């Protein structure tokens, strides 16, 4: 594999991380401050959307494993086909519909679509590693390129979204001792951003969605032009194919894998809870609405800078010890 090919492969998966990072940090505050839906409905949208993405994983794996080889490969058609729909669903996820009563259903629909489509992209993209080369070292190298670009994508997504939409949450009224509404703080109009500005808050979020949608299109073009999928060299070595459901059952009976998956579930849940609530906390509890975008970037830069340290740590002390260190 050439360095250019590895870079093209890595860049192809970055848009998913860019969009995922932007949604993780800013969707909840958008639903509350811009769309003005209740906290209960906002949490419902986020929960059902994530659940739909989880359900899509095995479904996507089943259909992809049944698909046939084409001139551009077996996995590439799936990624090419779902990208335009992913961009459209992402754009409408940040669109403020003119009606009020059906907004919860609107955001629930498009967030579920976005989660399902990104999963439909991520499953064949992750599996594509095995079809880049028959050399294990080359595949490991391509995976390292991919993970590096995914970290950068997470950073770029939060930075782009934060810088574009920051003005939608900046307070234009400075008070030394703001009045406390003890009856119903949620309906206190002072808690929402001031709509007076050159651009409405809806337009600002739509601009950010358009920019990230452009990143999606650029990424899939680079992936398609720079990566050539190779046929499975091990397909003829097996005497018989294991059915999908049986293979899934055998996997879930493997104790170490189940424990690893459970630990990953808990760690990722903690990270997602932090992502969803951090911007909201900075804006409404810590009175840092003018600075939250820089705090988000600081957190992600710290995470990126610490990667070489953890790499050396796990090489020196092992993966399990590194996992305890993460805790």
**pTM confidence score:** 0.78
Percentage with pLDDT > 90 across the chain:
26
**What are the helix (H) ranges across the chain?**
3-33, 39-66, 76-93, 103-127, 136-165, 201-226, 244-252, 255-284, 292-317, 319-326
User: Could you tell me the pLDDT band of residue 169, with boundaries at 50, 70 and 90?
Assistant: low
Domain count, the chain: 1
Instruction: Kindly state whether residue 291 falls inside one of the protein's structural domains.
Output: no
- Whether the per-residue pLDDT at 63 is higher than 80: the answer is yes
Is residue 300 helix, strand or coil? Answer: helix
Model confidence at 312, pLDDT cuts 50, 70, 90, reads confident
More confidently predicted of 308 and 92: 92
Phi-psi region of 229 (alpha: psi -120 to 50; beta: other; left: phi over 0): beta
Predicted pLDDT of residue 79: 92
- The 10 Å Cβ neighbour count of residue 90 is 24
Confidence of residue 78 (pLDDT cuts 50, 70, 90): very high
Helices 244-252 and 255-284 sit at what angle, rounded to 10 degrees?
80
Whether residue 285 lies inside any domain: the answer is no
Q: Tokens 């993209």 map to which residue?
A: 125
Task: Give the range of the structural domain holding residue 227, as residue numbers without chain letter.
Answer: 1-172+198-231
Please say if the pLDDT value at position 184 is more than 50: no
Tell me whether residue 32 is in a domain: yes
Is residue 107 in some structural domain?
Answer: yes
Reported confidence tier of residue 196, pLDDT bands at 50, 70, 90: very low
Residue 20 lies in a domain: yes
What is the average per-residue pLDDT within 75-101?
Answer: 91
In tens, the pLDDT along 272-296 reads 888 878 888 888 888 888 888 888 8
Q: What is the pLDDT of residues 228-280, one digit of tens each?
A: 887 766 655 556 777 878 888 888 899 999 998 898 888 888 888 888 788 88
Give the model's confidence band at 199: pLDDT under 50 very low, under 70 low, under 90 confident, else very high: low
Residue 66's pLDDT is: 81
Q: Tell me whether residue 193 is in a domain.
A: no
Long-range contacts of 95-98 (CB under 8 A, 24+ apart): 95/202, 95/206, 95/209, 96/34, 96/35, 96/202, 96/205
Mean pLDDT score of the chain: 82
Q: How confident is the model at residue 69 (pLDDT cuts 50, 70, 90)?
A: confident
Domain at 146, CATH number: 1.20.1250.20
Higher pLDDT, 65 or 118: 118
Is 6 a domain residue?
yes
pLDDT of 188? 41
pLDDT at 107 over 90: yes
Q: Is residue 247 part of a domain?
A: no
């Amino acid at each position: 594999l050439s360095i250019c090919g590895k870079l093209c492969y890595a860049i192809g998966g970055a848009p998913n991380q860019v969009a995922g990072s932007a949604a993780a940090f800013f969707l909840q505050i958008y639903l509350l401050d811009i769309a003005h839906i209740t906290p209960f409905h906002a949490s419902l949208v986020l929960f059902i959307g994530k659940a739909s993405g989880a359900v899509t994983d095995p479904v996507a794996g089943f259909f992809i494993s049944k698909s046939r080889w084409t001139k551009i490969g077996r996995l590439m058609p799936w990624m090419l086909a779902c990208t335009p729909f992913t961009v459209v669903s992402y754009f409408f996820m940040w669109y403020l519909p003119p009606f009020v009563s059906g907004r919860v259903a609107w955001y629930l629909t498009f967030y579920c679509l976005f989660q399902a489509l990104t999963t439909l992209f991520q499953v064949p993209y992750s599996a594509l590693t095995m079809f880049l080369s028959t050399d294990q070292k080359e595949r490991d190298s391509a995976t390292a390129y991919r993970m590096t670009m995914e970290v950068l994508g997470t950073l770029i997504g939060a930075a782009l979204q934060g810088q574009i939409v920051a003005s939608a949450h900046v307070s234009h009224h400075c008070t030394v001792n703001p009045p406390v509404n003890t009856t119903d703080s949620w309906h206190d109009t002072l808690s929402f951003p001031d709509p007076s500005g050159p651009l409405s808050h809806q337009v600002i979020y739509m601009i950010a969605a358009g920019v990230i949608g452009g990143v999606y299109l650029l990424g899939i073009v680079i992936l398609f032009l720079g990566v050539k999928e190779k046929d499975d060299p091990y397909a003829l070595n097996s005497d018989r194919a294991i059915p999908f459901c049986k293979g899934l059952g055998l996997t879930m009976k493997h104790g170490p894998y189940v424990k690893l998956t459970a630990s990953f579930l808990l760690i990722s849940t903690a990270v997602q809870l932090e992502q969803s609530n951090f911007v909201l906390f900075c804006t409404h509890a810590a009175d840092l609405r003018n600075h939250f975008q820089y705090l988000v970037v600081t957190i992600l830069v710290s995470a990126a800078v610490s990667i070489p340290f953890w790499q050396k740590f796990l090489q020196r002390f092992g993966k399990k010890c590194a996992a305890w260190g993460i805790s």
